[in-house]
Structure formats: C-alpha cells, structure tokens
Chains A and B, each alone.
Chain A
C-alpha cells in the first residue's frame, strides 16, 4: 500500500473525492415535485379546517409526515447518502458552530408559520382566491428553499463537514 506522507497531493485527492461524493447528492427528478405535493398538503390545512370540519388537523400533519419520510427514504436510496435531521448548531471543541443549511432551515420554518397564518386570515375574511394564491406562492417558496437547503448540504460535503 502506498505511503500517503510521500504524496503531496493526498489532501488535494481527498478534496476531489469529496466533490465526487457531493455530486451524488443531487435529488432525482421526482424529489422536488414530491416536496411540492407534501407542502401543498401542509398548506391545505387552513382550508380543510374551514370547509371540512370533520378532518382532523393532526390527520393532515400525519399525511405530511408520511410523505416526508417517503421522500427522504427515496432520496437516501437514490443517492446512497443519508443525511438525517440536522441540528441548527453543533458543539465542537467546546464551542458552538452553526451548521450549513441553518439559514434555509430557519427560512422554511418562518415561511411555514407565516403562510399558515396569512391563509387563516384571508379565509376568515372570505378572500378565498387570495388564500389560494398565497398557498401557491408559499409552496413555490418552500420548494426553492428546500433546493437551497440541499445545495448547502452539498457544500458541506464538499468542504468536509468541518473535518478538514
């Protein structure tokens, strides 16, 4: 086996290999449409509560969770890379570091809550068309943010996740 200490290109080689690994983390064609459906299900919550009183909000949440699990399972199978739920910050060497993807994750949470509240308000005031437009916009924004989140994970894989 070759001696790495005699190869000045060892670290460069590791960077090339990490780039190859990061390139595998590209979502398959069905991932983003699937994510759009999952977000659409989530944002139909206010409509369902208003017009379908028998539908439980937890049932909608359950359907969305099941869709997410299915999407993540498919993504892991397709790419061969499992990236679990990521904390917003990690403790390393006694200091907290922000994880890559933190801005996108925070934006996803903020958009979810804001869009839900806006939909509730618009439906309460009888502005159904505006509520539907708000829902469509929220789905588009969430899918874009999710793409950004995956991009940041790829960047994390390229940079070595803080290991080098």
Chain B
C-alpha cells in the first residue's frame, strides 16, 4: 500500500466519517449512489449530505445529481486528488497503528492491552442517536 505513496495525515479526511466516505468511494466502483454509500458507511442522510459538501468543496469528491422519474438521485465519485490524499492518509494510519500496537504490546501484559479489548461496535451503531421510546399513556 505504501509503495509510491507519501504517508502523511490529511486534516480534511481525518474525521472518521469523511475517511469512511472517501475509503468507500476508492473501493473500485466508478460511481456510488447516495443510499448505497449511506448504508455502507452506516451514517444518516444529513451527515452524508453535510460531509459530502465539505469533500466536494475541497475537490476530493465529484457529485452528480440526477433523477429517475420523480425521484432525485445523487451519485458520488472520488477525484484523483481525493484518491491521492486518501492513499497518503491510509498509509499514515497504517504506520500509526503499527507504532501504537508495537508500543502497547511491549508496555502492558496481554490481558490489558488495547488490542485485547472486546470488539467495539460499528461506526453507525455508535454515532446514531439512541431512540428512546416514549412512555406509554395511562401508565405511571
């Protein structure tokens, strides 16, 4: 992955939502539709809209809007600039992960290391607000 790629952090795709969007768009498809991207990233409509505007303004993502019948459809594509930034950022993340795992393995016993924690929930599960059902009418 790091061959020919300069490993450096990109502040624009550093937040995990934007990293997810760029990472999914770089995954081999030419264009990805709004709903497919939203479902795969596990984020809400509003979050995707907001973050895609930021990425589009930066020139990382190309947005195409159209309609099928009366239903509007939005398609996303990663630009060459966005791909370059993502590859550099992913290389930097991989380096960081290696450094962190090497330092934690050396410093702590295996049962208390960062990597030994149980699997964390997915982004969509963590970032979505928890829906609390309203109390039933007639009950105390």
Collect the chain A residues with CB atoms within 8 Å of residue B1's CB: 164
B96 touches A5 (CB 8 A): yes
Residue interface bits A142-164, CB-to-B below 8 A is 1, else 0: 00000000000100111111111
Cα A8 to Cα B119 with chains together (Å)? 11
Q: A3-B14, A4-B93, A80-B35 are in contact. Are A161 and B30 (CB under 8 A)?
A: no
Interface segment out of the listed B55-63, B82-90, B128-136: B82-90
Q: Which residue of the partner chain B has the closest CB to A101?
A: B28
Residues of chain A having any CB pair with chain B under 8 Å: 1-5, 7-11, 13-14, 16-18, 20-22, 24, 77, 79-84, 92-94, 100, 153, 156-164
Residue interface bits B22-53, CB-to-A below 8 A is 1, else 0: 01101111111111110111100000000000
26 pairs of residues in contact across A and B, judged by CB atoms under 8 Å = A1-B15, A2-B127, A4-B14, A4-B16, A8-B100, A10-B16, A11-B90, A13-B16, A13-B122, A17-B41, A18-B23, A18-B24, A20-B39, A21-B24, A21-B37, A21-B40, A77-B68, A80-B33, A81-B29, A82-B29, A93-B3, A157-B27, A157-B28, A160-B26, A161-B27, A164-B26
Shortest beta-carbon distance from A163 to chain B in Å: 4
A84 touches B39 (CB 8 A): no
Residues of chain B having any CB pair with chain A under 8 Å: 1, 3-5, 9, 14-17, 19-20, 23-24, 26-37, 39-42, 68, 75, 83, 86-87, 90, 93-94, 96-97, 100-101, 114-115, 120, 122-123, 127
Collect the chain B residues with CB atoms within 8 Å of residue A82's CB: 29-33, 75
Cα A127 to Cα B59 with chains together (Å)? 61
Collect the chain A residues with CB atoms within 8 Å of residue B35's CB: 80
18 extra interface residue pairs, beta carbon distance < 8 Å, beyond A2-B127, A20-B39: A4-B19, A8-B101, A8-B114, A16-B122, A20-B40, A21-B27, A24-B39, A80-B37, A81-B31, A82-B33, A94-B4, A157-B27, A157-B28, A160-B23, A163-B87, A164-B23, A164-B87, A164-B94
Cα A113 to Cα B74 with chains together (Å)? 39
Cα A2 to Cα B51 with chains together (Å)? 14
Collect the chain A residues with CB atoms within 8 Å of residue B17's CB: 1
Report, nearest first, the 4 A-B pairs whose CB atoms are least far apart: A161-B28, A80-B36, A93-B4, A80-B33
Shortest beta-carbon distance from B137 to chain A in Å: 38
Collect the chain B residues with CB atoms within 8 Å of residue A84's CB: 30
Other-chain residue from A8, A13, A160 in contact with B27 (beta carbon distance below 8 A): A160
Cα A106 to Cα B27 with chains together (Å)? 23
